[in-house]
Structure 1
Amino acid sequence: MMKLTDFYYDLPQELIAQDPLLKRSESRLMVLDRKDNTIEHKHFYDVIDYLNPGDCLVINDTRVLPARLMGVKEDTGASIEVLLLKRKDDCTWETLVKPGKKCKVGARIVFGSESNEPDPETGLIKGKLVGEVVDIVEEGNRLIRFEFDGIFEEILDELGQMPLPPYITHKLEDKNRYQTVYAEHDGSAAAPTAGLHFTTELLDQIKAKGIKIAHVTLHVGLGTFRPVKEENILDHHMHSEFCIIEQDAADMINETKAAGGRVVSVGTTSTRTLESMSDDDGTVHAGSKWTDIFIYPGYKFKVIDALITNFHLPESTLLMLVSALYDREHILEAYKVAVEEKYRFFSFGDAMLIK
């Protein structure tokens, strides 16, 4: 049995990065060589030196929604926080609501009110966006139907905040710093953080070196922050996420492998997409699906040959995934070195290349 405590490491709180660096590609890069069991300390812009002509870099081009909405109950003015999770139709979303006990079916929440004061005639608070709880679903999530004038995405961009992980307590001054420079398709409740280190200039240099870049899409769900609570990790219930691979990307990846090149995945999200949408022989297929793939030690990777990733939370499914690529003992030893060398951890932190 693989125990949850097998994936624990001690992390000083001061090493959790609270703010992004001024320049994305100047973060540090720890390079782990699986063949020689060596560790190198570089900067992220050095990653190009470890990519070879004929390789294929796979990036997740999902775009993070400013999905955190701060509102008040229409009748009482009580503060309510809503996190958008999954869009059900044009006006209805599955959401996480805090505090949930105040939001039974029929409750109405107002966002973008100028004063949070009730209208003298109706006794109700008015705002730019109103949501009504229409159902309570799995794990207590609320289905909310929104009422608005105009375009929902524009209103969300105006009123919404980036859904930063709970371990980041500083306010993010620039929303774009929680987006990759290649973000394109709206839908994520969290950023694919490994991609935050790339600049357009670095990507151009990588292309110029003869390295192909394939785009896939996986909309990161709230479950990326969900802790594993079961002592036997196989009892953990994985969340589902929606992923897409277009035909041109599938062809690019398959041609790379056929020609002997490496598939280098940027992030655990790209990895889950590739490993979910491939045959046992590593052939990647175009299409879309919901995936709840759980990758842990013992898993045999079908597609990826190397991984660019951030440092992950202790006892998390993401740490289990990287421990499947490079055995747990070596990963935990690398994390111990990272602590000693004062690397910056998690979303706005430093990066790791496992090759």
Structure 2
Amino acid sequence: MAIAFVILFMVPVPYYIVQPGSALEVRPMVQMEDTSNVEKGTFYMTTVSMREGNVIGYLLAHVDSWMDLVPKEDVLGQGEDPEHYQYMQEEVMRQSQQNAVLAAFRQAGRPAEERLLGVEVFRVLSGMPAAEALKEGDIIQQVDDHKIGQAEDLLTYLSEKKPGEQVQLLFNRNGDKEETTLTLASLAASGGEDRPGIGIEPVTLRKVETDPKVSIQADKIGGPSAGLMFSLEILNQLGDRDLTNGLQVAGTGTISPDGDVGQIGGIQHKILAAEREHADIFFVPADVEPQDSNEKKAKATAKELGSDMAIVPVHTLNEAVQYLDQQRGAQKTS
């Protein structure tokens, strides 16, 4: 019997198993020079657990409503391996951390400089034009006569072209400037959208400098969804008042450099993770577009759990700060 169980545990299935992760205290992850602000409560980021499936997990997912089965191709995409996926998620987390720093410092009116250095080639897609000339780590700085500072610049410029047109790239490889000419192809050929491209995964390369300096260490946690909570913790360390007000404050949401909060995945699992940590407040991205569902799912999940946790939808970092300030006022008058 034990041998059969081990075999079932080792046999893979073409699914990832997604379930509630953890609510992790943010303050130990954020290091800032010359901060003395005392935090009486706690800011928590929330995570989703995702692992490659096996037969045991596949069977359990059919009886456990908190375990979801997601086809591997929906997670990895075409031709991507799990190691690269994790690497990409860690890079996305790094970008999110930089956004969080910028958003917090701008909210506080403190100096923060963002220098865009170009577009790093994070991955070259096989069979696409870039495979002929580019390598991972190359930094694209110009296309034709257009300077390229960030990934959005590259995508916008190429979107105005057609497959079959040529573009000239100026890029940096190991400190040396190089040029190449590529013929655009439809990204549909590599499993992407039907639009012109060169066939790379682009990542904005930038440097963020602040005073005081900030660093964030999140180990192997990946993805962009901790942005809002990182910003709140940074802002708390920058300020002279404790935004937590002694409360347990959990949440999730992507963050832009200007403080806009965006939708994330797995919200129902993050609500349960926060409930297990007895959070008082949960910040969730507000539903804005017709396809958005974070706010609706968060409220429905909290109701299903019978949770007393306040589910607070926010559009921006500033809205989250205003809500926390209101809690301070309410405590003083109660």
Range class of TM-score, shorter chain:
0.3 to 0.5
Q: Normalising by structure 2, what TM-score?
A: 0.36
Of Structure 1 and Structure 2, the greater helix share is in 2
Structure having the larger proportion of residues in strand:
2
The TM-score, its normalising length taken from structure 1, stands at 0.35
